[in-house]
Amino acid sequence: MATIKTDDVFSIASFDPSKLTESFRDFAEKGAQQSKEAYAKLKSAGEEASKTLEATVQTAQAGSVEIGLKAVDALRINAESSLSHMEALLGVKSVAEFFELQTSFLRKQAEITIEQAKSLQETTKQVAEKVAKPSKEAAEKVMASFKAA
């Protein structure tokens, strides 16, 4: 039968505190380095997000001004057209002339309104694309960095 040495199992003589300290120091340094790298990445991502948000807000602001100007222009055109029509109605000599003038005005207003709606829709689409562009580019950049990692 084999004999078991109990004095070796519980012996503290094989324990070297300097090796434990070195291991702990290496672990702490690696952890600190990883934390610094993670912080740098997070800081960079935060700065990028801030720039993207700022660009998006500025683009949206400029776009809303552009859309507002288009709407005001449409209102101005419609008001001028209506005033001109009212002046023309004041000079009407017969009921037939009134109906002809009114029909012509309504047809012209419908065409103008359709053109204005198309123009406003196109401008809104362009503004939406401009507003979405910085966010889209930032998202693509993030996705590319995940693929690379």
pLDDT in tens, 36-45: 888 888 888 7
**Residues whose CB is less than 8 angstroms from the CB of residue 45 and which lie 6 or more positions away in sequence, other chains included:** 142
Question: Band of the pLDDT at 56, cuts 50, 70, 90?
Answer: confident
Which stretch of 48-52, 61-65, 102-106 has the lowest confidence by average pLDDT?
48-52
pLDDT band for 9, please (50, 70, 90 cuts). Answer: low
pTM, to two decimals: 0.63
- Helix, strand, coil in percent for the chain, rounding step 5: 90, 0, 10
Q: What is the DSSP letter of 15?
A: -
Is the pLDDT assigned to residue 78 strictly greater than 90? Answer: yes
What's residue 98's pLDDT? 94
Residue 116: which residues within 8 A CB-CB, separation 6 or more? 70, 74, 77, 78
Per the prediction, the chain carries an average pLDDT of 85
